[in-house]
Structure 1
Amino acid sequence: MLKTSEKPRQQRKFRYTAPLHLRTHFVHVHLSKDLRAKMKKRAIAVKKGDKVKVMRGKFAGKEGKIMSVNLTRAKVFIEGMAAKKQKGKEVPLAFEPSNLMITEMTERK
């Protein structure tokens, strides 16, 4: 399971050195109210194909599908939300999972 130490230094070290199978805990996203009632859970690990709503930041209120989930950085990439570089090339933005809310889910086991 997850580390139970109260020391901030050990908590930080655990997050940086955690194996990939435990890093799924770092990409848990809150569920919408109707999904929360259906699943009987408050948050669940986000998965490619889920539809999410951005709750904070520049894109707050916008919805999109998950393009990919980066477990090493604990970031989520959403379709249609990108930044333009100086030369005009579009680069996908990385979102913090805590700033998102799942509105529709893909099938899970």
Structure 2
Amino acid sequence: MTSVKPGKQLDKGISAPLHSLQKMFSVHLSKDLRKELGKRALEVRKEDTVKVVRGGFKGKTGKVARVNRRKIQAFIEKLSRKKSDGTEVLVPFRPSNLVLIDIYRKDGRRFKGKKIKEKEMKDVAATEKIGEKKKKAAETGKKGKDEAKKKK
């Protein structure tokens, strides 16, 4: 049996190995990026531009200043608060509350354009084939109904 208590779930995430935490850093892509890349989500990293979709900073955008994998937090430039002693501190965000608007493209290992382009081409070709099949089925279905009416 697994626990549904939020505290235990958070603890499970925090104590997870780093390769598992990487999956927890996946962030949904904006509609434009989704079309361009052919993916729904990517892991957030430093220099990505994100938009906050939940919480008090909802609607604000900025570049990711740093990422804390251990605590599952992303810090965004210019989104900060003042401490009681007057110093500015970046506010931590959970990746689930962010949407990627623009990605940092200079990292060669993160992003292999060929694979994504190939996948995108396959998706386009597949949707075209499905569309053609549906049209043919609709045409043959209409002809069959018309012929049946003529026979009566």
- TM-score scaled by structure 1? 0.85
Q: Name the larger-Rg structure.
A: 2
Question: 2:14·2:72 contact (CA, 8 Å) conserved in 1?
Answer: no
Give 2:79's aligned residue. 81
Structure 2 CA distance for aligned equivalents of residues 105 and 16 of structure 1? 26
Structure 1, residues 75-96: CA drift from partner, whole Å, max 9, x if none? 1000001110112111111001
- TM-score scaled by structure 2? 0.62
Please report the RMSD computed on the Cα atoms of aligned residues, expressed in angstroms.
1.8
- Provide closer, same or farther for how the CA distance between residues 91 and 37 of structure 1 changes in structure 2, counting only shifts above 3 A: same
Give 2:16's aligned residue. 18
Q: How far 1:14 moved relative to its partner?
A: 4.8
Structure 1 CA distance for aligned equivalents of residues 34 and 3 of structure 2? 31
Tell me, what secondary structure is at the counterpart of 1:8?
coil
| 1:33 maps to amino acid | K
- Provide closer, same or farther for how the CA distance between residues 8 and 82 of structure 1 changes in structure 2, counting only shifts above 3 A: same
Give 2:98's aligned residue. 100
Tell me, what secondary structure is at the counterpart of 2:35?
helix
Give 1:66's aligned residue. 64
Structure 2 CA distance for aligned equivalents of residues 59 and 39 of structure 1? 27
Structure scoring higher RCO (CA < 8 A, sep ≥ 6) equals 1
Give 2:2's aligned residue. 7
Question: 2:29·2:41 contact (CA, 8 Å) conserved in 1?
Answer: yes
Structure 1 CA distance for aligned equivalents of residues 91 and 46 of structure 2? 15
Which contiguous aligned blocks of 4+ residues in structure 1 show a shift greater than 6 angstroms?
A: none
Structure 2 CA distance for aligned equivalents of residues 32 and 21 of structure 1? 25
Identity of aligned residues (%): 43
- Provide closer, same or farther for how the CA distance between residues 20 and 58 of structure 1 changes in structure 2, counting only shifts above 3 A: same
